[in-house]
Amino acid sequence: MNQDLWLCLPAFEAAPRAEPSPSLEARALGGDDAAWSALVARHNHRVVVSLLARGIALDVAKDLAQEAWVRLVEQARGGKLGDLKLPGLAVRQAGFLALEWMRRSTLASEPLDESVVDPSQDQEARLEETRRARCVREVLSSSSTSAQRVFQLLYDAGEARTPEQVASELGLSLQRVRQIVCEVRKKLRARWEGS
């Protein structure tokens, strides 16, 4: 990893939500290091969680997330990024790195295992993603209107809100928002484990 480049990125603390992401992304593409720092602080946790979801151990996930950001910054500096949509782009970059890492790890432990280059593994992962997405849609569509609205706002692809913001926007208590989140996630887990 390019350590010099990484040093300019911030420690991951809770990021203030003052500036909207599209504005920060535009500034980052223009070479503004402070904008990159703010974007990394805002989105790095999501990137790490995306790697944990793939079964990557926590410390490896953190390293791969760092590497993903470094590559994105390098690509932007090299003029190779026409568009910057975060955290999606960072999650995808981290996903590629995770695949490489898993292949390298498997090759190191089982050099004769041909399954590591089996493209059907990626296909299975995509099928599993599709199945899970269907579960999510089914569980959400069977939930109450207010629960659907809570999730719509919490996971808004454009600008996701915090539970506090959702509670305020919908006129619910924060406790109620958290309760809804827990109930829906519980149903989801049950569906996944049952199917």
Partner 1 sequence: MNPHLSMEQLVSYVTGESSASETRALEAHVRTCARCARGLEREAAVEMSLVETASRPQRPRPRRTFAAAVGVAMAACSVLVGITLAKGAPTEAGVHTERDVDAAADSALSPDG
Q: What SS3 class is residue 117? A: helix
CB of 55 to partner 1, least distance (A): 6
Residue 56, token pair as written in the block: 């990557």
To which residue do tokens 């719509």 refer?
152
Q: Does 88 bind partner 1 (CB under 8 A)?
A: yes
Taking the CB of residue 51, how many other CB atoms lie within 10 A of it? Answer: 24
Q: What is the spatial distance between Cα 67 and Cα 95, in angstroms, rounded to a whole number?
A: 11
Query: Cβ closer to partner 1: 46 or 176?
Result: 46
What is the phi/psi pair of residue 143, to 5°?
-90, 170
Q: Does 22 bind partner 1 (CB under 8 A)?
A: no
What is the phi/psi pair of residue 48, to 5°?
-60, -45
Per-residue x/- mask for partner 1, residues 25 to 64, rule CB under 8 A?
--------------------xx--xx-xx-x-xxx-----
Interacting residues toward partner 1 by CB under 8 A = 13-14, 45-46, 49-50, 52-53, 55, 57-59, 88, 129, 132-133, 135-137, 140, 151-152, 154-157, 162-163, 181-182, 185, 188-189, 192
